[in-house]
Amino acid sequence: MITATLHQLKIPLKRAFSHVLATRQHAEAIVLVVSADGATGAGECVPRPYVTGETFDSVWETLRRLRLRELCARIDSSSPGALARTVEALPLPGLAARCVVELALLDLHCARGGWRLGELAHALDLPAALVSDAPQPETISVPLDMGSEPGDLAHLVGSRLGHVKVKVGADLAADVRRVAACRELFGSTVTMSVDANMAWTVEETLRAADALHRFDIAWFEEPLQPRLRERYAEVRARAGIAVMLDEAACSSAQTRRAIAAGACDLINIRLSKQGGYLPALRIAELAQRAGLRFQHGTQVGQVGVLNAAGRHFTSSVRGIVACEGGPGLANLSDYPTRTRIELDWNVGHLVGLAGPGIGASLDPAKLRAYSTRSMELSA
């Protein structure tokens, strides 16, 4: 018998997080808990209309109509490979909506089979150069949001921090000041990028590239307004900068088009916007075959399951230039998982992933405490 419960969670952040598009004071996510034959799986997504076009309401409505029993009947969980192939083939709608369902089903069936989620990466037909047999060293990335000053990161000097992403886009003079302060603070010990969250025109991007050139910026993340995306190749050529795509490279189809157009040097892979763990692996495959680099990113609002699933991604895939995910969880005022999933600065990656599946089971009491709405799904 299959049972499923859907929750929309809202958890206060210790400190508001700001970029040019939004200021967030709460982590907000949709989670799905699926149970069958004594095992339980959990999935999570963070819908953003300016990323995948999905909202919390649209994802909720999509999941409300989900026919779980029919989906589960299509899954072959006789081996990790069979599980990965059959879940990958499920006709799941959307990207964020697909992610929460995919993760819940993978978590459930991995728990029943005694497999860790990361084992599925080795069961797909991915290039040998992409998949690692052992956890890879991670370049830890932290963001400097628009409500923070570089001095707020001073405690990370000399730590395992490897990359700083500075949120920019509102005022170029302020952007230059903050980037300069970060470079002075960390010297050459970390790489730095800037993320304009789709704020700039072509000419504004060119001016920013010129103003920031002396600070050795590794890449510019999604600088152009959505209506100007077809001009990324031009910007790369004229500005002489490396471009990372995020919002413009969600689906495999979008990513293929961007690669074909010469629009980018890097892809920001975030599980919720790619459609889940397996689609994220496919995006990494597209990037690797095209000779592009990629990072593992997260979204403000993740509450734990996505972070844990991301850890399986980063520990199974080679070539990741930067890994986000730990510091965001530290900003939660509380956590809804049974164990705290957090960044261990001593070992340089997320911890709290013991056991089969994703390794981030949800606490029913916390789900009740932080749910703004819940419903049982008809299987």
Task: Provide the token pair at 211.
Answer: 């103003």
349 pLDDT band, cuts 50/70/90, is confident
Residue (of 362, 359, 357) closest to 110 by Cα position: 357
User: pLDDT at position 326, please?
Assistant: 67
CA–CA distance, 33 with 68 (Å, rounded to integer): 12
Would 2-122+361-377 and 124-351 be classified into the same CATH topology? no
Question: Amino acid identity, residue 88?
Answer: E
Task: Provide the token pair at 334.
Answer: 């509380």
295 pLDDT band, cuts 50/70/90, is very high
Ordered by start, the domain boundaries in the chain are 2-122+361-377, 124-351
Determine the topology of domain 124-351 in CATH: TIM Barrel (3.20.20)
User: pLDDT at position 35, please?
Assistant: 95
CA–CA distance, 229 with 226 (Å, rounded to integer): 5
Helix 277-290 to helix 252-260 angle (10° resolution) is 10
Q: What are the pLDDT digits (tens) for 86-102? A: 999 999 999 999 999 99
Least confident stretch, 64-68, 226-230, 276-280, 350-354? 350-354
142 pLDDT band, cuts 50/70/90, is very high
Answer whether residue 192 shows pLDDT above 90: yes
**8 bridge partner residues:** 30, 373
CA–CA distance, 330 with 361 (Å, rounded to integer): 18
User: pLDDT at position 262, please?
Assistant: 98
Query: Once rounded to an integer, what is the mean pLDDT over residues 244-265?
Result: 98
In our burial notation (b when 16+ CB lie closer than 10 A, e otherwise), range 144-167 reads bbbebebeebeebeeebbbbbbbb
CA–CA distance, 18 with 142 (Å, rounded to integer): 14
**Size (the chain), residues:** 379
> How far are the Cα atoms of 72, 100, 306, 336, 341 from residue 366, in angstroms, in the given order?
27, 18, 17, 5, 15
Answer whether residue 379 shows pLDDT above 70: no
What percentage of the chain carries pLDDT values higher than 90? 85
DSSP collapsed to 3 states, the chain: CEEEEEEEEEEEEEEEEECCCCEEEEEEEEEEEEEECCEEEEEEECCCCCCCCCCHHHHHHHHHCCCHHHHHHCCCCCCHHHHHHHHHCCCCCCCHHHHHHHHHHHHHHHHHHCCEHHHHHHHCCCCCCCECCCCCCCCEEEEECCCCCHHHHHHHCCCCEEEEEEECCCCHHHHHHHHHHHHHHHCCCCEEEEECCCCECHHHHHHHHHHHHHHCEEEEECCECHHHHHHHHHHHHHHCCCEEECCCCCCHHHHHHHHHCCCCCEEEECHHHHCCHHHHHHHHHHHHHHCCEEEECCCCCCCCHHHHHHHHHHHHECCEEEECCHHHHHCECCCCECCCCEEECCCCEEECCCCCECCCCECHHHHHHHEEEEEEECC
268 pLDDT band, cuts 50/70/90, is very high
Answer whether residue 21 shows pLDDT above 90: no
Q: What is the pTM of this model?
A: 0.96
CA–CA distance, 77 with 81 (Å, rounded to integer): 8
Query: Once rounded to an integer, what is the mean pLDDT over residues 180-190?
Result: 97
Q: What are the pLDDT digits (tens) for 51-88? A: 999 999 999 999 999 999 999 999 999 999 999 999 99
CATH architecture of 2-122+361-377: 2-Layer Sandwich (3.30)
What are the phi and psi torsion angles at 241 (to 5°)?
A: -115, 155
What rounded mean pLDDT belongs to the chain?
94
Q: What are the pLDDT digits (tens) for 243-253? A: 999 999 999 99
Q: What are the pLDDT digits (tens) for 112-126? A: 999 999 999 999 999
In this structure, the number of other CB atoms found within 10 A of the CB of residue 50 comes to 11
User: pLDDT at position 352, please?
Assistant: 60
User: pLDDT at position 134, please?
Assistant: 77
